[in-house]
A and B are shown apart, each in its own frame.
Chain A
Amino acid sequence: MSEARLQEERGKAAVPAAALVAGWRGDSARLGAGVIEYLRGALQCREGGRIALEPFFSFDGVNVENHLIRFPENRLYTGTGARALLFLGDPPHYQWYDYLNAIIDQARQVAEVGVLFTLGCMFSLSFHKQPREILMVFNSETAKKRFASGRPERSIDYQTPPDQKPTLNSYLLWVARRNNIPGVSLWVPVPFYLAPVGDRYAEKMIITFFNEKLDWRVDVSDLDREVRGQHAAIDRLRGDNKEVDDYLTRLECSRDLTEEENLKLMKAVEEGLSGAN
C-alpha cells in the first residue's frame, strides 16, 4: 500500500508531517500569543479543534484583564495543507498530563505531527535594539541534530532550582517524547521593560526561525513595521523623559539599574507605549 493510500485509509489528508507550534495565553510579554496570532493570519489558518475545559480548570469565577472578562480557552488552528498546526491555550490548573496529551491528540486528529515547538521568553537586562537570539532545548538528540544552531556555547546544561517547578513547556517536551514526537522549546530573552507591551522584535525572530527551518515563507514585513514603530515610540519617550533616557542609555552600555529604576522604566514604557501598540 502506498504512503498516500495509507494516509487515506487513516482518514487524513495526504500531506507531509506537520509542525505543531504551541504557545500559552497570558505568558510573559505575550510572546506565544503574539507569534501564533501573527502566524494564524499569515498562514490563513482555520480552527481545527479545541480541548474541553471541564476537567482542567477551576471554575471559581473569572479574571478581569484590561477591562475585559478573561475565561480559560484554547484553540488548535490548521494552516494551508495542514503543514502548520498552531495551538494557543491557557495553562491548565489541574491534570496537566492529560491536558498536554490532549494537545497532541487533538493535533493528530488533523495531521501527522512531525515536530513540536513550544514558545517562551525570559527577561533580560538587554537593550531593546540589540539583536535577539533564540535559545533552544530539545527532547531528543534527533531534534537537536535537526534544529540546533550548531553553536556549542548554546548547549545548555540546566536543572530546575530546588524552590521552583519545571515549566509547562518542559513538561510538554517530555509528553511529546513519550509520543515519539521530536520537540524543541524556543526561548527568547526579552528586555524586561517590554514585558507589559510585548516584544515584536522577539516575535519576528521566532517567525524568521520557522521560515528558515520549515520553509514557511511567512511575510514578516508587517512585523518589521511594528518593530520600527515600537522603537520609534521608545525613542520619543526618551526625548520626552530624561529619566527614561538615562536608564536606557545605561542599559545600552550594559550597565545595571537598581530594582527601583527597573520598575520605574517598566512603568514608563507601559504608560508611554500602551497606546502606540
Chain B
Amino acid sequence: MGLRFHSAPRCDHPVMLVGWPGIGHVGIIAVDGLRKAVGAEPIGEIEPWDFFYPSKAIFKGGVLEELAFPRNTFYYKRHEGRDLLFFIGDEQPSAENKAYAEGIKAYKLAQLVLDAAARFGCRRIYTSGAAVAAIHHSMIPQVWAVPTGPELLDEVKRIPNAVLMNEGSISGLNGLLLGVAKERGFAGMCVMGEVPMYVAHFPLPYPRASRSVMQFLIGALGITADLGGLDQSIKESDGQLEEIYKKIPAEMRAQLEKLREGREVRTQGEAAETHEREFMEGIGRLIEDIDKSLQDGGKRGE
C-alpha cells in the first residue's frame, strides 16, 4: 500500500485540489477541468489494488496484457506564481454496494492523500463536490463552502456566489478527507456546487455546478484560468435536462417552476424556516412522483 512518485517538484506553499466522482460528477469535473485549464501534469499515484477492485481486463492473443484499476493520480503545475497540486480519483473506495467512501479503506486513502500533500509542503486542501439544493436547473448554481477552521470564513465571504453551509453533513471522501486533514493540522475547505434536487436523481453530469466550483477556486487561489472548456458540456447537459424536463407531467413541472423562487425562500431568515421545511418536504414528494412518472415512460406528460 503506498504512494508512487515519478517526479518531485520543489514547491513553495502549494495548495492541493481534490476531486472524486459523486453526484453530477461536480467535483471531479471541476478539479479535472481546472487541472486541464492550467496544464498540470501527472507526478505520481496511489497504488490502487489495496483500495479497489480492477475495472478492466485486456487479453491480447489469449494473454493477459493489462489489468486496469481505477486511477488515483497526483498532478502538479506552477501557475501564475502559485504551486498547485491536484489529486483526482476515478472512484471512491467503499464497502459493497455503497455509493460513497466509508470505513477503514477510505480512512487509509485519505491519510495517503495527506501524506502526499505533506511531502510537498502543502498545508491547505480543497475538496469539491455537489450540494443538493432546492434550485431550478435554469439558475446559476451557488457554491456552498465549509472550511476546517474560523480563519477561513472570510475567504468564503469575499467570494461572489458563495455561501457558508450552516449545518448538515458531507458524505464520502470530500468530508472524510477534510476531517482527517483537520486532525493532522491542515487547513482545508469543501467546496460544493448546487445541483437541483430533481437533477441529483439522474445519472447525469451537471457541469453548471462544476463551473461555479471552478470560479470559486479561481477566486480563492487568486489565479486566472480559461473555463471555456466547459461550455460545450454545459450546453449538452442543458439540452439533456430540457429533454427530461419536457417529459415531466405538466402539473409537476408547474411545481418545479416554483423552485425558481426557492433561493428567496432560503435566504429570508428564521421566519421562513418552517415555510422552507414544508417547501422542501413537498419537493421531496414531488421528486418521488417524477421518478415514478419517468419510469412509466412519462405517459402523463403533455
Q: Which residues of A contact B (CB under 8 A)?
A: 58, 93-98, 136-141, 143-144, 148, 154-160, 165-167, 170-171, 173-174, 177
Contacts and interface: CB of A to CB of B under 8 A. Distances in A.
Given A97-B49, A97-B50, A171-B67, A166 B62 contact: no
Interface string B70-97: 0000000000000000000000000110
A239 to B, nearest CB: 42
A187 B64 CA distance: 14
B57 A58 contact: no
Contact of B63 (A94, A137, A160, A166): A137
A174 B61 CA distance: 16
Contacts of A140: 63-64
B254 interface: no
Given A94-B95, A97-B49, A97-B50, A155 B61 contact: yes
A271 B95 CA distance: 37
* Size category, B interface: 10 to 19
Contacts of B59: 137, 156-159
Contact of A58 (B49, B60, B96): B96
A67 B96 CA distance: 26
A170 B53 CA distance: 11
B63 A141 contact: yes
B68 to A, nearest CB: 8
Contacts of B54: 165-166, 170-171, 174
B57 A138 contact: no
A93 B95 CA distance: 9
Name the residue in A97, A144, A171 with the highest tally of chain B Cβ atoms < 10 Å from its Cβ.
A97
A166 B96 contact: no
Given A138-B63, A170-B67, A159 B57 contact: yes
B271 interface: no
A98 B51 CA distance: 10
B47 to A, nearest CB: 10
Given A93-B96, A97-B49, A97-B50, A170 B64 contact: yes
A139 B56 contact: no
A171 B49 CA distance: 10
B96 A139 contact: no
Contacts of B8: none
B262 to A, nearest CB: 35
A127 B61 CA distance: 28
Given A143-B63, A156-B61, A170-B57, 20 more contacts: A58-B95, A94-B96, A97-B49, A137-B64, A140-B64, A157-B59, A158-B58, A159-B56, A160-B58, A165-B55, A166-B54, A166-B56, A166-B67, A167-B57, A171-B53, A171-B57, A171-B67, A174-B54, A174-B57, A174-B67
